[in-house]
Structures are given as C-alpha cells and as structure tokens.
Amino acid sequence: MLVDDQELIRTGFRLVLLAEPGIEVVAEAGDGGAALAELGRLQAVGAGCDVVLMDVRMPGVNGIDATASIVERFPETRVLVLTTFDLDEYATGAIRAGASGFLLKDARPTELVDAIHRVAAGDATMAPSVTRRLLEQLRLGAPALPEPVSADVFSALTERELDVLRLIAEGKNNAEISGELFLSASTVKTHVGRVLAKLQLRDRVHAVIFAKQHGL
C-alpha cells in the first residue's frame, strides 16, 4: 500500500513498482486514517497487505501515529517509512512506533524495491545516514526501548543464538551471517526468529538497538 498525501508521489512509486515482478500495489491512501480504513477493507474481503510505504508528514493522522496503529491492529503488515526529511525525531519515532524500516524518498528505485522485499521477508532496512546517527544516540545513552525485565537479558539465548545476535548488531544480513558461522540460510533464519521471539523484539532494527543498549 502507498500512503502519501501527494498523489504525484504515489503515482511515481506505483509506476516504479508496477515494473517489478512479485510486487503488487493493492491500495493507496492520502493519510494515516485512510490507510487504516483500507487495511480494514482488505482484511474484510480476505485480502491482505504485506508492506505499507508510509509518509510521515500528512494531514489528519500522521505517519508515525498510523504506524503505531497498524502494528497494533494489523500485526502481519510491515511498515516501511519514507520521508523527504532526514530528521532524527522521525527515524526514532518511526522505530518506536514499530516500523520495520526508514528510507528517504530520494533513494534509488533499486534501493526502494530491495527495501520492500527485505521488509516483506521479515528483515529490516534503514537509510545509512539515519543508522549512523541512531547508533551514536544509543552510545550516548538515549533511550529507545523499555528497560529489560531480567538482569541477565541474554540468558535465554543459546551460545549460537548469541553469536547470531552479535552479527545482527553489526548490521550483517542472513547471507553474511550464514557465511561467517558456516550455517545454512534456513538455519540462520530459524536462529534469527528464535532470538526475536525470546527477547520479545519485533524485528532486526529493534534487535540492533537492544544489543547496543545492553553492551553486546
């Protein structure tokens, strides 16, 4: 689904995505409230939406508030936030709301398509400039996630799962983790899923933040 208050922007994204095999634009909306209504409509007819491309600054319900509502009401739908504005508060706001990625609108079409596929597959993606500043904020102690419920936050993980988390925190994708740990792609995917489940993290973005906050 394409969510942006400017029809011209939505048209541009739609033309890019129409040329991509395996991607279908199932709906469009001009603000966050309309996006939630469209997701409800799709759900009512037995359809679905894997990824929402969400603008931030819109009239009515903005993209951050809409993201939080989507995460709560439609947990199977992932949100990829796109904005013209490379601002820290938008990136951190999107992540706290549960977005699986943050990308600038000046990203190349190939970057956009790759980000959609990664988010749809349960991975996460962020604009490099935003990632660098976000991690710097974490090093300075800026809070991004609630305090852990256990003093030993990693005790639930096996040694191999802890290795996987360390590599996730370094920004490595599944293929790179597979090569470094000499594991099959399916085994890495299983380990990643278990890490997220055990630590109650939504996706890899939150896994990176969690690991950095706890000194891993």
Mean pLDDT of the chain: 83
Amino acid code (one letter) for 72? E
Q: Average of pLDDT values for 8-18?
A: 92
Whether the pLDDT of residue 141 is over 60: the answer is: no
pLDDT at 149: 38
Residue with tokens 């293929």: 175
d(CA 63, CA 79): 10
At 33 the three-state DSSP class reads: helix
What pLDDT does 88 receive? 52
Confidence of residue 2 (pLDDT cuts 50, 70, 90): very high
Q: Residue 81 pairs with which residues in a beta bridge?
A: 54, 102
User: So what's the pLDDT on residue 136?
Assistant: 59
- pLDDT class of 148 with cuts at 50, 70, 90: very low
The whole-number pLDDT of residue 104 equals 81
Give the residue from 70, 89, 88, 72 showing the smallest Cα distance to 80.
70
What domain count does the chain have?
A: 2
Per-residue pLDDT reduced to its tens digit, 72-112: 899 889 999 887 765 556 667 777 788 888 888 888 888 88
Q: Do 54 and 97 belong to one domain? A: yes
Nearest to residue 55, comparing CAs of 17, 103, 12, 23? Answer: 103
Domain residues for 33?
2-138
Q: What angle, 0 to 180 degrees and rounded to 10, lies between the N-to-C axes of helices 185-199 and 174-181? A: 110
Quick one: average pLDDT of 194-215? 83
Instruction: State whether 123 and 169 are in the same domain.
Output: no
What pLDDT shows up at residue 151? 40
pLDDT over 70 at 59, yes or no: yes
Separation CA 10–CA 28 (nearest Å): 8
- pLDDT at 139 exceeding the cut of 60: no
For residue 198, give Cα distances in angstroms to 129, 186, 203: 30, 18, 12
Residues 154 and 182 reside in one and the same domain: yes
* Residue where a domain terminates, one of 116, 138, 160: 138
Give pLDDT, residue 137: 57
For residue 143, tell me if it sits in a domain.
Answer: no
Q: Is residue 100 in a domain? A: yes
Structural domain includes residue 191? yes
The predicted model gives 137-158 an average pLDDT of 59
H or E element that contains 29: strand 28-29
Question: Do 125 and 177 lie in a common domain?
Answer: no
Burial of residue 211 (CB within 10 Å: 0-12, 13-18, 19+) is buried
Instruction: Specify the pTM.
Output: 0.65
Query: How confident is the model at residue 51, as a pLDDT?
Result: 95
Give the chain's length.
216
Q: Which residue has the tokens 């380990």?
A: 191
Q: Looking at 27-158, list the stretches that DSSP marks H as alpha helix, in order from N- to C-terminal side.
A: 32-44, 63-73, 88-97, 109-120, 128-139
Residue type, 187: T
Same domain, 130 and 64: yes
Instruction: Judge contact between 58 and 31, C-beta under 8 A.
Output: yes
- 48, part of any domain: yes
Q: Read off the CATH number of the domain in which 53 is found.
A: 3.40.50.2300
- The domain boundary, picked from 117, 138, 159, lies at 138
pLDDT at 207 over 90: no
Candidates 151, 162, 144, 147; CA nearest to 198 is 162
CATH number of the CATH domain containing 206: 1.10.10.10
What does each C-alpha distance from 22 to 97, 117, 164 come to in angstroms? 28, 9, 29
Half-sphere CA count of 26, side-chain side, radius 13 A = 19
Split at pLDDT 50, 70, 90, the class of 13 is very high
The last residue of one of the domains, among 138, 161, 191, is 138
